[in-house]
Chain A
Amino acid sequence: MKNKFSSENLFGSTFRLVALSALVLAVILSLNLFNQLKKEITVSILNVWAVIVLSILFSSMGVILIAKDILLTQSKEIRETNKELKNLAKSLRKKVKGKTKELSTIIENFTDGLIMTDSYHRIRLINPSAERILNINKKDFIGKNIDSISKESILSEVFYLFKKFTSPIPKTKYLTIKKPKEKVLEVTNIDIYHPSDKYIGNLKIIHDVTREKFIEKLKSEFISIAAHQLRTPLSTIKWTFRMFLDGELGKLSPEQIKFLKNSYKANEQMIALVDDLLNVSKIEEGKFLAKFSPQSIEDLIEEVIQERKVVLDKKNITFKFIKPEDRLPKIKVDAEKLKLAISNILDNAIKYTPSNGKISICISKKDGWIKVEVGDNGIGIPKKEKSRIFEKFFRGKKAALKDPYGTGLGLFITKNIIEAHRGKIYFKSKEGEGSTFWFELPIS
């Protein structure tokens, strides 16, 4: 389309036609002249002239006919071209109008606020949502340079959140405004550059997250209060039972002690359930891992093992901790959470391995990863339960029989902890033979 109508081409074809007709004219003329001269050499000069005049006449008529023909075709082509151009322009105008309308409808009705400045930092656009969120009138700002706006105005606050000319990569920051109503805004800053790297302008997208933040706060408060309320009676029971068991509230018969011990254990399970529920709700809130610091994995595992020495001895379990001769490099982890993950895996191994069984923990390093492996020769995981093992609240049939107090949250929490450390967790197991769980954490 584009080539057919270019001026260069139109000129080129006209020029070619003119040149061609001139050539044809010259040939006709010279041929005519030559033939006449050769045949009519003896004829009088008058005759010769007559022939010349006639041949000129004929040839010019021929030329006129050719030219006329050429001109006719030419003008027809031009007319057609013209028509097509007009149609194209019309459809383009229509399309542009449609697109502009489409774009302005999107901008006008966008639920987020949009503010755009040009390359001279003059405000070019403020959509109705931006007016509503910031409680401003766009008439007061359109066309003004952002530096000329009063520093007290909200718009100025929005602009001074970011440096001028940051980068073409969008950045998001939070802004809390107090007036007229307290609002939390999520402002995204996008500098717009032409493909030739020329700065064209800036776009600010303002998303009102007041409600989300409010709900987040409510949820966090709820969890906090729920944990408190649930733990309060449980801790009173725990303390009372403990005092009884320690003989501080009078002497008890061996049978009474036995009953109390079981109740104490059940209460401990309830406390663990509340902890697990708290952890799960924090995982779901996306705020689970808090404090990252360089830690020695060996030391963390050693601490976890130490806390379980009594149980391991009581069940007479052959326990091995295998670690490389050279100390492993420290890695950045949330120590408390990683200890919880290791504890969950080791506690499962202890729970589901019969007395006199075998449990081993093995750590190793390979290609920038630290691998922690916990193996046992316990009850194992049936084939059809394998795909659900990391699911929230899932409990294996045999596992539930063996330990009725389990919450089904341990491995779910563990998997989340490992993955939040950019690690991976795996297991292999055979029913009746044992299970091996292992996870890998990146060193850097």
Chain B
Amino acid sequence: MKKILIIEDDKYFLNILFKKLEKEGYSVISASEGISGIKKLKEEKPDLVILDLILPGINGFEILKRAKMNPKTKEIPIIILSNLGQEQEVEKGLRLGASDFLIKAHFTPQMVIEKIKKYL
């Protein structure tokens, strides 16, 4: 069973996404802020990360940067799922090594699953 880590601070949104991923047959873990997110990334070795950008404490870009700098975690695909989405933000995310940049409001749960399948 593939393991997916969701780093997301919006509890309600996390709840829906969690449910959807479980239904799709993934093993799901989550973190609601940056520090625990980085910790879980290192310790739990997920197969893929769904990352929000606006987070309390360390933001998503910083998590992404650290994940890609660490040789142990840099190979893990990270998909940004955020409500930011201005050009410079998308560009920054991809430059820092994100596999994809998805805007929550523009994607449905099913579309996100398809993206996940692409990177797993």
Contact = CB atoms under 8 A, between A and B. Distances in A.
Interface of A: 220, 223-224, 227-228, 231-232, 234-236, 238-240, 242-243, 246, 248-249, 271, 274, 278, 282, 290-291
B79 to A, nearest CB: 15
A239 B109 contact: yes
B83 A238 contact: no
Nearest to A264: B108
B83 A232 contact: yes
Interface in B54-106: 54, 82-87, 89, 103-106
A271 B105 contact: yes
Interface in B1-55: 10, 12-13, 16-17, 19-20, 23, 54
A190 B32 CA distance: 56
- Residue among A234, A242, A291 with max Cβ neighbours from chain B (10 Å): A242
Nearest 9 CB-CB pairs, A to B?
Answer: A235-B104, A231-B83, A235-B105, A231-B105, A271-B105, A228-B83, A290-B87, A239-B16, A242-B108
A228 B105 CA distance: 10
B105 to A, nearest CB: 4
A278 B85 CA distance: 10
Given A223-B86, A224-B89, A235-B83, A248 B108 contact: no
Chain B binding surface SS class: helix
A241 B110 CA distance: 12
Nearest to A336: B87
Given A224-B89, A231-B83, A290-B87, A242 B105 contact: no
B20 A227 contact: no
Contact of A236 (B16, B106, B108): B16
A249 B16 CA distance: 10
A78 B10 CA distance: 99
B89 A243 contact: no
7 contacts: A223-B86, A227-B83, A232-B10, A232-B83, A236-B16, A271-B106, A278-B86
B91 to A, nearest CB: 8
A201 B19 CA distance: 72
Nearest to B84: A228
A234 B83 CA distance: 10
Contacts of A246: 109-110
A262 to B, nearest CB: 17
A417 to B, nearest CB: 14
B86 A227 contact: yes
Given A227-B86, A232-B104, A239-B16, 17 more contacts: A220-B86, A224-B89, A228-B83, A231-B83, A232-B13, A232-B83, A235-B13, A238-B108, A239-B108, A242-B109, A248-B109, A249-B19, A271-B105, A274-B105, A278-B86, A282-B86, A290-B87
- Residue among A228, A246, A278 with max Cβ neighbours from chain B (10 Å): A228
